[in-house]
Structure 1
Amino acid sequence: MEQVRRAPLADQAADLLLARIRAGEWPLGARLPGETTLGPQLGVGRSTVREAIRQLAGRGVLTSRQGSGVYVTALDAPEDWDVVLRRADIVSVIEARIAIESEAAGLAAERRTPADLRALRRALEDRAARRSQIEDHVDADMAFHRAVVTASHNSILVELFDGFVPRLRQAMVEMLRIRGEFGGDDDHDVHTDVLAAISTHDVALAARLSRAHLDSLKENLR
C-alpha cells in the first residue's frame, strides 16, 4: 500500500485518502477506519491523520460525527466545481440536478443491467432502513440517487452529480433540521416508483418521476 513520503504530510495524507475514496474503497456513507488504523497505512501519526480528515471535511468529502466516527459524504472533490457551488443558491443547484437526474433516470431505464438493478434495490432498502437520523437518511438518499445516475452508464453525468453532493448534502441536512420531519412513506414511495420505472424500461415515466420529485424538492427549499 502506498505511503506518504514527502512533506507536507497532512496534504499528502489527504490526497491519498481522496484517491482511495475515488477508487471505491469506501462507498458513499461508509465509515472510515479509525486513526490508529489509517495512520500506519499512510505512514503518518494520528495528528496528521486528523489534519488530513479536517482538510477533506472542509472540501465536503468527509464529515465527523461525534461519538460515531468519520463518514464519506462525497466520492470526489472537483476543484473547479467547489468555487461555483459555494457561490450558488441551493435552488440553482436543484435546478441543475433536475437537468442531470431526469436525463439520467431515463437513460437508466433504457440501459440498466441486472447488476444495476441489484445495486438500486440495495440502495433503496438501505434508504428505507435509515430514517431515524437526519445525516444517515440524507447519505442514504444521496446514495440511491447516485445509483440511478450510475445506471445511466454516462460517466459525465456521474461526475456532474458527484460535484453537487457536498453542497446539496449540507443544504438537505439543514433543511430537514428546520422542518423536523423526514423519511416519510410518501417520499419513499416516490423513490420506489422511480426504481419500478427503471426496472420495466419505462424511459418516459422514469424521467418524469425524477423531474417531479426534484421539482417538489425545489419548492420545499424556497
Structure 2
Amino acid sequence: MAHVQRHPLAAQAAELLLHRIRGGEWQLGHKLPGETTLAAQLGVGRSTLREAIRELSGQGVLESRQGAGVFVTALDITEEWDTLLRRADIVAVIEARLAIEAECAALAAHRRTPADLRAMWRTLTARAEASASVADLVDADTAFHRTVVTAAHNDILTGMFDAFIPRSRRAMVDMLKIRPLPDERADHRAHELLLDAVRRRDAATAASASRIHLTSLKEALS
C-alpha cells in the first residue's frame, strides 16, 4: 500500500517543485539542491522526491545528470503542439507564422540550393494555376511557403511550420470563402518578389517580403 500512496505525494511534490521553478527560484540550467535538502524542504521522503523528479524529467523540465545532480532544463511544462494549436486563435497562428517564415526566408536566401529554387518555382507556378477551388488555392499556397521554409535547412523550423498547417488551412479556407482576396494578382506578385529575393540571396528583402505578405493576411483576418 505504501507504494500506491506515494504517487499522489510525488505528484504534489512535482507540483511544488514546478511552482518554485516558475517563480524563478532556480534559473534555466541551474542545479537543484541535494536530494536530502530538497526532500526536507518539500516535506517528503527521498523516494517520493525521486519520483517527482522523474515526473518532471519526463515533461522536460528537469534533467538528472549522472554524478552531477538535477538541473533545470525548462521553466514550465510545454503543452503538446496539437493541444495548443486547437485552442489558438488564427491571428495568433499567423503571428507565429510571421516569426518563423520571415526568419526562414532570410535563412533560405543564404542557404537555398538549386533544387530548393526549382521546388519554389514549381510550387509558385502551381499556385498561379490553382483556381479550381478555395481549398486548392490554400493548399497550393501552403506548398509554396513550405518550400521557402525547407530551403532554410532547419528541421526545427520546418517542424514548427508543419504543426501550424492544419489549423492555418482550415481558417484560411473559411476566410477566403467569405472574403476572397481583393487583388489576386497583387497577392501572387508578393510571392514572386519573395522567391526573387531568395534567388538573389537578398536576405533582408526576402524577410521583408514574407513579413509584408503575412501582415496583410493578419489584417484581413483581424
Residue of structure 2 in register with 1:100 after alignment: 100
Matches of residues 1-222 of structure 1 in structure 2 within 5 Å?
80-181=80-181, 184-222=184-222
> Structure 1 length normalisation: TM-score?
0.63
Per-residue CA deviation, residues 48-85 of structure 1 (Å, 9 max, x unaligned), is: xxxxxxxxxxxxxxxxxxxxxxxxxxxxxxx9211101
Larger CA Rg, structure 1 vs 2: 2
Q: Percent identity?
A: 58
Q: C-alpha root-mean-square deviation of aligned residues, in Å?
A: 1.3
Per-residue CA deviation, residues 14-65 of structure 1 (Å, 9 max, x unaligned), is: xxxxxxxxxxxxxxxxxxxxxxxxxxxxxxxxxxxxxxxxxxxxxxxxxxxx
Unaligned runs of at least 5 residues, structure 1:
1-78
Per-residue CA deviation, residues 108-138 of structure 1 (Å, 9 max, x unaligned), is: 0010000000000001000001023100000
Aligned partners of 1:150 and 1:203: how far apart in 2? 15
Aligned partners of 1:123 and 1:180: how far apart in 2? 21
Runs of 4+ with >6 A deviation: none
> Structure 2 length normalisation: TM-score?
0.63
Q: SS at the partner of 1:152?
A: coil
Structure 1 residue 182: deviation in Å? Answer: 6.9
Unaligned runs of at least 5 residues, structure 2:
1-78
Q: State the AA in 1 paired with 2:208.
A: R
How many residues of Structure 1 are paired with residues of Structure 2 in the alignment?
Answer: 144
Aligned partners of 1:173 and 1:183: how far apart in 2? 17
Structure 1 residue 178: deviation in Å? Answer: 0.5
Q: State the AA in 1 paired with 2:145.
A: H
Aligned partners of 1:182 and 1:81: how far apart in 2? 33
